[in-house]
Amino acid sequence: MPRFWLVKSEPGAYAIDDLARDGRTDWTGVRNYQARNFMRDAMRVGDAVLFYHSNADPPGVAGLARVSGPARPDPTAPKGGPDWCMVEIAFVARFPEIVPLDRLKADPALKGMLVTKRGMRLSVQPVEEAHYRRIVALGRREARA
């Protein structure tokens, strides 16, 4: 059974266009236990991913990715510290226009979605299937606009 996720990245550090260029990338650098546990314990190869631009203008979902490699130790983690991990993600699609956070917050169909909640800093989040599908539809709608 497929699962659905949202991962955040600051586009100045790594944007959807970077993923489009690279095709796939190691999702290293996660230093939050809850996010780590999602990657390690729940993410599966093939799971669908919303690629979210944080600290951006505007912040929002920039495209789609897929988990393409299983969780393994993060080679960028400092030695002697906690056991951090990473997954590999692959490019799927870039939305022609970002689906802005404002838009997500305003959509009744997305009520309760974690990323719309104030103070939600988790950089790897589970997403409900219905929410995922809704955002894909919004991304396609942006493509027509």
Partner DNA sequence: GCCAACGTTGGC
Place of tokens 């719309």: 116
Out of 8, 94, 103, 134, the residue judged to bind DNA by CB under 7 A: 8
Tokens 């606009």 -> residue: 145
Q: Tell me how far, at minimum, the Cβ of 1 lies from DNA, in Å.
A: 27
Q: Does 12 bind DNA (CB under 7 A)?
A: no
Choice between 46 and 55, CB closer to DNA: 55
> Under a CB-based contact definition with an 8 Å cutoff, are residues 65 and 19 in contact?
yes
33 is an interface residue for DNA by CB under 7 A: yes
* Closer CB to DNA, 23 or 81, in the complex: 81
DSSP letters, 62-97, are EEEEEEEEEEEE-TTSPTTS---EEEEEEEEEEEEE
Interacting stretch for DNA, rule CB under 7 A, among 39-47, 91-99, 112-120, 131-139? 112-120
Q: Measured from the CB of residue 126, what is the shortest distance to DNA in angstroms?
A: 14
β-pairing, 4-9 with 48-53?
A: parallel
* Residue whose entry in the numeric block shows the structure tokens 């692959």: 90
Q: Does 56 bind DNA (CB under 7 A)?
A: yes
